[in-house]
Structure 1
Amino acid sequence: MNIVNFDKLLLKTAFCCMASDGHIDAREIALIQSMCQTSPLFKDFNFQDEINLLLTKINTSGKEFIQYYFDLLNETELTEQEELTLIDFAIQTINADEQIEYSEIKFFKNIRHRLKISDEHILKAFPTIELFLEEDIVTESFLDKITRQYLESTDFPQFELLTLDMDANSSNISGKVGE
């Protein structure tokens, strides 16, 4: 397994949640950028370089990149607090464009089933996401099936690299972020 820093795992989580519906909304990019800027986890972090690297990876190997992300989650040992932080990044990103697509819920369920934290603890921290935790008959084969379904049903469009135009007091984005 590749060793990954928690900050990069958080960014990959937010990025994958953003791309899971096949559309990148400027509000999602702005939110992820803001979360990175305000979190103490992201020190000496070049957001534009990192997000463009992820865009390049999803453009060149979309399904393989998502599978790599799922494998990374399976192999990474996280504390309960880290899992809650990861869930927070995922949920905020999914909600950023004010439209929750079924593909995003399916994607979140894929994330959730790779974490060790209980639904009870998740709902204690995030009481409004009950929809995301609705019970499915989850077995190893079911998880494999929904992962395969997600990867087979998702055609990843080609996203354009971002040009971020920021001054010290704002997080304005310029340039096209894709359709």
Structure 2
Amino acid sequence: MDHITFDKLLLKTAFCCMASDGHIDKREVAIIESMCEKSPLFSDFNFHDEINLLVTKLNTDGKEFIKYYFDLLDKSSLTEEEEMNLIDFALHTINADEQVEYSEVKFFKNIRHRLKVSDDKILSVHPDIEIYLEEDLVTDSFLSKITLQYLEGTEFPKFELINTIQPGTKEE
């Protein structure tokens, strides 16, 4: 298993959440770019290059890309603060287009199941996401089963490379 830096894991998390509904919305791209710009973790970081690399990998490897992301998350040793930061990135991305699809909630539940932070801690920061935390991932075998179902039943669309929105401009 490769080693991944936390900033790359955050970006992969946001990217996978964005793509989990089969559509990349410009508002999702804009929120991810904004979160990266505001975070000190992303110094010396070319958002456009990094996000387009992820688009290319998803287009090329589809289900294997998502499986690899889950494997990375499983193998990562994160602090509670890092887990909360990862949850923030995921939730902001999921909510950016103002439409939360079930596939996004299911994807978030897959992420959440791999983290150690308590539901109480998450709800103290995000009290409105209780439905995201409802227990329907009972066992590791069940998690594996729905992860496989998510990957098996999904034909990933081919995504266009992302053009970043320049500050001060409005894109239709």
Deviations 1:86-132 (A, max 9, x none): 00000000000111101001100000001111111111121111010
Q: Tell me the distance in 2 between the aligned counterparts of 1:102 and 1:165.
A: 28
Deviations 1:42-99 (A, max 9, x none): 0000000000000000000110000000000000000000000000000000000111
Q: Tell me the distance in 2 between the aligned counterparts of 1:173 and 1:45.
A: 23
Q: Does 1:118 align with 2:118?
A: yes
| RMSD between aligned residues | 1.5
Q: Tell me the distance in 2 between the aligned counterparts of 1:165 and 1:135.
A: 38
Q: CA shift at 1:172, angstroms?
A: 4.6
CA contact (8 A) 2:123 2:130 kept: yes
Equivalent positions of 1:30-45 (< 5 A) are: 30-45=30-45
- Segments of structure 1 that go 5 or more residues without pairing to the other structure are none
Report SS of the residue matched to 2:40: coil
What TM-score do the two structures reach when normalised by structure 2? 0.95
Q: Tell me the distance in 2 between the aligned counterparts of 1:158 and 1:72.
A: 23
CA contact (8 A) 1:12 1:54 kept: yes
Query: Which aligned segments of 4 or more residues in structure 1 are displaced greater than 4 angstroms?
Result: 171-175
What TM-score do the two structures reach when normalised by structure 1? 0.92
Q: CA shift at 1:163, angstroms?
A: 2.5
Report SS of the residue matched to 2:42: coil
- Segments of structure 2 that go 5 or more residues without pairing to the other structure are none
Equivalent positions of 1:12-51 (< 5 A) are: 12-51=12-51
